[in-house]
Chains A and B, each alone.
Chain A
Amino acid sequence: MHFSIQNFLFLLVAIAGFGLFAWQARKIRANISVGRDRDMSGNVSERLNKTLLVAFGQSKMFKRLTPAFLHLIVYVGFLVINVEVIEIMVDGIFGTHRFLQFLGPVYDVLMATNEILGALVIVAVVAFWWRRNRKPPVRRFQGPELRAWPKLDANIILYVEVILMAALFTMNTADLKLHQLRGTEMPGTFPISGLLVGLFPSSEAALHVLERVGWWAHIIGILCFLNYLPSSKHFHIIMAFPNVYYSRLVPQGQFSNVESITHEVKAMMDPSYEVPAPATAPDGSALAPTPFGAKDVNDLAWTNLLNAYSCTECGRCTSVCPANITGKLLSPRKIIMDTRDRMEEKYNSPLIFSPNLYGQEAKHESQEVLDKENHTLLRGYVTPEELWACTTCNACVEACPVNINPLESIVEMRRFLVLEESAAPNSLNVMFSNIENNGAPWAFSPSDRFNWADDLYVAEKEVVTA
């Protein structure tokens, strides 16, 4: 253990890196908490189970084998290589060298796994890059919402991952060669670096510099990457866990019942029903009534906003969406990305890098004419046409590997259109009034409801199996 200016420097860099990240995380937390309250407490064991299965276990990834396999490599690589990061941190602070070597044979296995995973990560990343950048790319990496920033973002992540791996190998190979030149035994087993030693210079000074360059590049790279996450879809490596934990446990077909409406309806049906007093501000004054449904991000539940920060922009939702498959404007991924963009436009914008906003080019023409005043999530980003194309089939919810629920946001916005603006398509208004007047969505008289029984025993075999 020997302290030097390097340790002091490292401490500063680490504090700056983590501090900056904490600052960004707080802003995002604030963004998420502008959402409506929703009680998600309880069911701890069921939620933990789900988190283990879906987030740690990646269970929903395996619907598509190729990307699942590639992703698994990067994911496991990330977990294992993090052990080495711990070592780097300790070494950096206390001036030790390869602090974990006391683990002996375990250390050998650890380092060897690390190196092999590191090499595999590079292979996987190249495959990922190809899937996205070949012409034409995999279908779910196309689509109007995936231009400019989201596209660049996805590639930046891949490049950074390669750089981080390269730094790791530089460090290990240089260290290995140093030991070889000095004739000392280097702790750990390094199958990949062992292959690379031939490529490195034989000067001790140069090797020493290379080892330090690799070490610093790796750790600084990681700290930069950490601070890049909040601006990126790659934030999912953190947010996927709370997002899955707080995902819904009820059957997917169960939509929320709006409670304020329940009170109103009960009062209409039973005049003696007492509607609970409306919520008041802490000083006793009445709060502005909350609108029905959602017009802007703050009308959505906080879980919907958490969703938006967990989205990996993978497009699995969109690629199974019947509306999207058949060429309609609706893309559940876009709804989620819009939500995040709008949050950062209206509240805390991120942060250090240019925002997530995928900008004008992804918007539909009709949106561009909207005035800034009306620039809310609904209409400003998401058009009613998209919302009305949804069949509420839950395919997107089923497909999302991190349990995001785009459908909930869609229905909330539909509620706003119908209940606050009476802006449903006309044919739906006809359906509503049929239900109101006839108790059926079609214009049939309730007195005909039993007509099916009239010819219950008329021979109809030829009709049925014609």
Chain B
Amino acid sequence: MADLAAQGETPEILFWVGCAGAFDDRYKRVTRAFVRILEHVGVKYAVLGMEESCTGDPAKRAGNEFLFQMQAMQNITTLNGYGIKKVVTACPHCFNTIKNEYPALGGEYEVIHHSTFLQQLINEGRVKVEGGESYKGRRITFHDSCYLGRSNNIYEAPRAVLEALDADLVEMKRSKANGLCCGAGGAQMWKEPEPGKKDVNIERTEEALATLDGNAAALDNLYGVESGNAGATPAPKANGQGSIIAVGCPFCMTMMSDGVKNKERENNVQVFDLAELVASAEGLNA
């Protein structure tokens, strides 16, 4: 961003990479996939690079309001300094914080989650999701992240992206507003869970796996499933190709991947971010 500013230019969008996108090895791949898409469609974008700092989300959810506001003010100063108007991010936590909590502290931007952004690209025909890997007939289930769904009412965009892939989209019983947390939110990502019967990500992974496998018996044993939810679609057994748990959040990614490993299902179930799926469908993985 600093380079661009030195040339006297402002980008169309600022891509907010987020800490996980910058440091987490798995999520760095998502960052790269998304950047490839941006370059592919020729959007003028910039990243803050080393000038980016944690949004303060984990501090705020953990109750450390002071630290949160320090982070927020610092980031707002940076963003305002560059005259940023539009921010895109692949992290629902960054998205929620910048969109909802920064305005009161002087940071007003148009903030877009990458699922919405990808949906727009597909709608505008700038991304065709063909020419690369085909997902036809592969079973995909989307895990709603709380900070995208319940917190900000974004349920359709990620699904629209997945539908464009022409895959076999199946819904978990607990989905959309009734979705179950992956267990990482509210700063849980950085601490051991409190003692209990099992970890949240295991419960959620079991549900995802049962949905992908069409295992109705396992689904019946889940707690808290809304009886009025007709959205669940336990389908017949999938074909040989691996099924996919799609996510739109770095923490969900970690939690679901750990869950799949814990259940020893890595051989036939993979966890991908929306951006990765779109990039490979578009043939951008070179």
Q: Which A positions have Cβ atoms within 8 angstroms of B?
A: 62-66, 68, 139, 250-255, 257-258, 261-262, 264-266, 268-269, 292-293, 319-323, 325-330, 385, 388-395, 397-398, 411, 413-419, 424-425, 427-428, 430-432, 435-436, 439-442, 444, 446-453, 455-457, 459-461, 463-466
- The residues of A that contact B195 with a CB separation of less than 8 Å are 327-328
Interface flags, B242-279, vs A, CB<8A=1, else 0: 00000000000000000000000000001010001000
Closest Cβ of chain B to A97, distance in Å, is 45
Known: A395-B146, A440-B23. 13 other contacts (CB 8 A): A251-B153, A253-B146, A323-B194, A328-B194, A393-B146, A395-B178, A435-B67, A436-B70, A441-B19, A453-B32, A463-B29, A465-B270, A465-B285
Alpha-carbon separation in the docked complex, A64 to B224 (Å): 11
Q: How far is the CB of A44 from chain B (nearest CB, A)?
A: 22
Instruction: Verify if B237 is at the interface (C-beta below 8 Å from A).
Output: no
20 contacts across the A-B interface (CB closer than 8 A): A254-B101, A258-B69, A265-B70, A323-B196, A323-B200, A326-B203, A389-B194, A391-B181, A393-B186, A394-B146, A397-B150, A419-B66, A431-B187, A435-B54, A441-B19, A442-B19, A444-B19, A451-B22, A461-B286, A464-B272
B115 within 8 A of A: no
Q: What is the 8 Å Cβ interface bit string for chain B, positions 210-235, against chain A (1 contact, 0 not)?
A: 00000000000001101111000000
Expressed in whole angstroms, the Cα–Cα distance for A325 and B146 within the complex equals 16
B224 adjacent to A258 (CB under 8 Å): no
Distance in angstroms from B69 CB to nearest chain A CB is: 4
- For residue B10, CB closer than 8 A to chain A, the reply is no
Residue B84 interfacial (CB < 8 Å): no
CB distance from B158 to the nearest CB of A (A): 16
Q: Which residues from B are CB-within-8-Å of A453?
A: 32, 35
Residues on A with beta carbons closer than 8 Å to the beta carbon of B276: 464
- A448 touching B63 in the complex, CB below 8 Å, given contacts A253-B147, A254-B96, A465-B280: no
Partner of B64 from the list A388, A419, A442, A460 (CB cut-off 8 Å) is A419
- B85 CB-CB contact with A under 8 Å: no
List B contacts of A64 (CB < 8 A).
226-228
Closest to A388 in B: B194
Checking B28, B151, B189, B190 against A452 with a beta-carbon cut-off of 8 angstroms, the contacting residue is B28
Given A64-B227, A395-B181, A419–B63 Cβ distance below 8 Å?
A: yes
A431 to B224, CA, bound (A): 32
Report yes or no: B194 in contact with A322, Cβ–Cβ below 8 A: no
Complex formed: what's the CA distance from A262 to B104 in Å?
10
- Give chain B residues whose Cβ lies under 8 Å from the Cβ of A448: 22-23
3 tightest A-B contacts by CB?
A: A253-B151, A327-B197, A414-B63
Please report the C-alpha to C-alpha distance between residue A252 and residue B100 in the assembled complex, in whole angstroms: 10
Q: A393 contacts B196, CB within 8 Å? A: no
Known A-B contacts A252-B150, A322-B200, A328-B194; the reply to A456 vs B223 at CB < 8 A is no
Mark B residues whose CB is within 8 Å of A.
17, 19, 21-24, 28-29, 31-33, 35-36, 47, 49-50, 52-54, 56, 58-67, 69-71, 73-74, 77, 96, 99-101, 104-105, 133, 146-147, 150-153, 177-181, 183-200, 202-204, 223-224, 226-229, 270, 272, 276, 280, 285-286
Task: Tell whether, in the assembled complex, residue A320 and residue B61 are in contact, meaning their CB atoms are under 8 Å apart.
Answer: no
Among B17, B22, B24, the one with the most A-chain Cβ atoms within 10 Å of its Cβ is B22
Residue ID in chain B nearest A411 by CB atoms: B63
The CA-CA distance from A455 to B197 in the complex, in Å, is 41
In the assembled complex, the CB of B41 is this many whole angstroms from the nearest CB of chain A, namely 16
Q: Which residue of A lies closest to B185 (CB)?
A: A391
- Cα–Cα, bound, A441→B69 (Å): 15
Main secondary structure on chain A at its contact with chain B?
helix
Q: Out of A293, A325, A460, name the residue touching B285 (CB < 8 Å).
A: A460
Asked if A257 and B101 sit within 8 Å, CB to CB, the answer is yes
Residues of B within 8 A of A413 (CB): 63
Contacts of B191 in A (CB 8 A): 388, 425, 427-428, 431
**Interface hub of B64, B151, B191 (most chain A Cβ within 10 A):** B64
Task: Kindly state the separation between the CA atoms of A397 and B151 in the bound complex, as whole angstroms.
Answer: 10
A391-B146, A464-B285 given; A62·B228 CB < 8 A: yes
> Do A319 and B223 contact each other (CB < 8 Å), given the known contacts A252-B151, A326-B198?
yes
List chain B residues, Cβ under 8 A from A292.
65
Which of B69, B105, B185 is close to A392, meaning CB atoms less than 8 Å apart?
B185
A250–B151 alpha-carbon span in the complex (Å) = 10
Residue on B nearest A68 in the bound complex, by CB:
B228
Q: Is the CB of B186 within 8 A of A391?
A: yes
CB neighbours of B17 from chain A (8 A): 449, 452
CA A124 – CA B190 in complex, angstroms? 47
Known: A319-B223, A460-B29. A450 touches B203 (CB 8 A): no
Inter-chain contact A257/B104, CB cutoff 8 Å: yes
Partner of A415, one of B33, B63, B180: B63
CA distance A431 to B191 in the complex (A): 9
Instruction: Tell me the complex Cα distance, A250–B104, Å.
Output: 12
Report the bound CA distance from A395 to B77 in whole Å: 33
Q: Are A444 and B187 in contact (CB under 8 A)?
A: no
Chain A's closest residue to B146 (CB) is A393
Q: Which of these, A255, A269, A450, A457, contacts B50 with CB under 8 Å?
A: A450
- What distance in Å separates the Cβ of B218 from its nearest Cβ neighbour in chain A? 15
Q: State whether A389 and B193 are in contact (beta carbons under 8 Å apart), knowing that A254-B101, A395-B150, A461-B286 are contacts in the complex.
A: yes
User: Residues of B contacting A389 with CB < 8 Å?
Assistant: 193-194, 196
Identify the closest chain B residue to A407 (Cβ): B186
When chains A and B are docked, how far (Å) is the Cα of A268 from the Cα of B66?
11
Assess the B23–A391 pair: CB atoms within 8 A.
no
Q: Which residues of B contact A395 (CB under 8 A)?
A: 146, 150, 178-181
Contact A326:B151 (CB < 8 A) given known A431-B187, A441-B19: no
Chain A residues near B61: list those with CB within 8 A: 255, 392, 411
Taken together as a complex, chains A and B put the C-alpha atoms of A431 and B177 apart, in Å, by 30
Quick one: closest A residue to B226, CB to CB?
A: A63
* Identity of the chain B residue whose Cβ is nearest the Cβ of A446 in the assembled complex: B50
A441 to B66, CA, bound (A): 15
CB contacts (< 8 Å) of A319 on chain B: these are: 223-224
Report yes or no: A322 in contact with B64, Cβ–Cβ below 8 A: no
Report A-chain residues with C-beta under 8 Å of the C-beta of B22: 440, 444, 448-452
Is A257 a contact of B62 with CB atoms below 8 Å? no
Give the Cβ gap from A246 to chain B, nearest Cβ, in Å.
Answer: 20
Q: Tell me if A325 and B224 are in contact (CB < 8 A).
A: yes
CA distance A447 to B190 in the complex (A): 22
Residues from chain A with a CB closer than 8 A to the CB of B70 are 265, 268, 436
Whether A449 contacts B50 by the Cβ 8 Å rule is: yes
Residues of the B chain whose Cβ atoms lie less than 8 Å from the Cβ of A424? 62-64
- Measured between beta carbons, the chain B residues less than 8 angstroms from A329 are 194, 196
